[in-house]
Amino acid sequence: MDRIHQEQILKWTALRSGKCELLYSAKRDGFSAKTFHQRCDQRNPTVTLAYNTSGYVFGGYTSIPWTSPEDEGGFLCDSTAFLFRLEADNRFSPAIARVKEPTEAIFVSKDHAPCFGDGDWYSFSKDLEPSADMTYESNALPPQLGKAYSDSLDTKSFCGNNIKFKNFEVYAIILDKDVTAESCPWRRGISWSQEDHIKLMSYLQTYRPPEELSIPAANILMVGQVGSGKSSIYNTLNSIFKGYVVTKAFSGSGAGSMTTKYRRYEVRTEHGPLRVRLCDTMGIEAEGGLNVADFPYILDGNLPDRFQFKAGGRITPKSQGYIKDPPLANMIHGVIFVIDGSTITMMPEEVYDKLKAIQEQVNERDLPLLIVITKSDKFCSHVKYDTSLTFRSLNVNELVQMVSDKFGMLETNVLPIKNYSTEMELDKDTDILTMVAMRQVLRAADTFFEDQVELLDTE
């Protein structure tokens, strides 16, 4: 296997390192399903590669072993399986389609060579005889991706509508001694498909607070250390709905807070603004920054949009623009702590203490609190190059567990994301990760709104 192919496959699997050992080569061993099973059964994980006459290199990965049942065979479950393309028209052109129906990930039968999905890709059965030009026409049906696997690849993009093989290989991935990998995603429910992207955008575009409350949008307050990426969250969400990378809110990693005003940011779409406003305030600092004692004024809705913070100054009812009796529409309806995943272990104790004090204020008001971990790609090199590996990365999983323990929160309320920082073009998987986090935040806000509706009903 070419080095560049091996590196790409290891990256997709989220394995930190390893090497590929050739188990079966049709050119060497013959196009025989029986020989394939003799050489490959009970070995895992494995990678299957097919080389066709159109210059395509394509195949599939499974973490579970192939077997040769004596009966008609059946499906085996593997939530880590995927189909892929490495080359198209003799050019390196990697693309992936992850499994979306894990219970139908692979089909095993003594008469069949590797079979993925419910007809998504069956390679061949029994034996193939060579044609005059020493190529081998598959006796299986053409691939039909989109059944058990994501439709991010179709038959044409997968293999160029060509199942005439020049060679066919199966490799075992040999893990280094220090390699560990998740056998399945530690957080499920995302296929990373274009369909997922469309559904998430639709959810955010159609979201509405309950009509009974008569409020225009859910106000979500972002709280975090200076440089944690609060403003970048808004910029990323705004970019998704603009269709290109934009920077509207100031973001950076300087010594002091880039945000000096209280802001309520709207994300505008072609159908109007989303019914969620991201509220940004000064970053938390070990010394200086916004006083923790002033946070109740933000949570309770006493501050207007664009309220100017004064260095070292306290907020009082006499502060300019102070709202004495704020309506529910002006209050905060949910809070997210924004934590820089690449520097969490270096968080100053003073910053941590301030965040815990704010956490108490949030809990006193029965407001939902979630944690968003930014820059997860800096914590895991695999995620840096492939955002869809976020929920398969052991490093990110360990990071989520660490943050969960540190703040005494459920892991389900800790959401890793990757912000746009150096990119000039949008990435589908980065979009999906951000929108999944925002969906969870809004679902949490809905629990607060339900309580408010109940209060109205009792009045």
- Give residue-wise pLDDT tens across range 139-174: 999 999 999 999 899 999 999 999 999 999 999 998
More confident residue, 411 or 288: 411
Residue 32 has pLDDT above 80, yes or no: yes
For residue 316, count CB atoms less than 10 angstroms from its CB and return exposed for 0-12, middle for 13-18, buried for 19 or more. Answer: exposed
Query: How many whole angstroms from its chain centre is CA 291?
Result: 34
Checking if the pLDDT of 257 tops 60, the result is: no
User: Structure tokens of 107?
Assistant: 């089909």
pLDDT in tens, 419-441: 887 788 899 999 999 999 999 99
Q: pTM of this prediction?
A: 0.64
The reported pLDDT for the residue numbered 254 is 47
Angstrom distances, CA of residue 167 to CA of 9, 27, 37, 413: 19, 6, 17, 48
Nearest of 223, 234, 327, 229 to residue 277 by alpha carbon: 234
Query: Would you call the peptide bond into 114 cis, given omega within 30 degrees of 0 as the criterion?
Result: no
Judged against a pLDDT cut of 60, whether residue 182 lies above it is answered with no
Euclidean distance between CA atoms 7 and 212, whole angstroms: 55
Per the CB < 8 A criterion, the answer to whether 83 and 149 are in contact is yes
Compute the average pLDDT of residues 192-219.
95
Residue type for position 215: I
% of the chain with per-residue pLDDT over 90: 68
What number is the average pLDDT over the span 31-58? 96
Dihedral sign for Cα 147, 153, 157, 163, please.
Answer: negative
**pLDDT band at 177, cuts 50/70/90?**
very low
Please tell me what DSSP assigns to residue 309: P
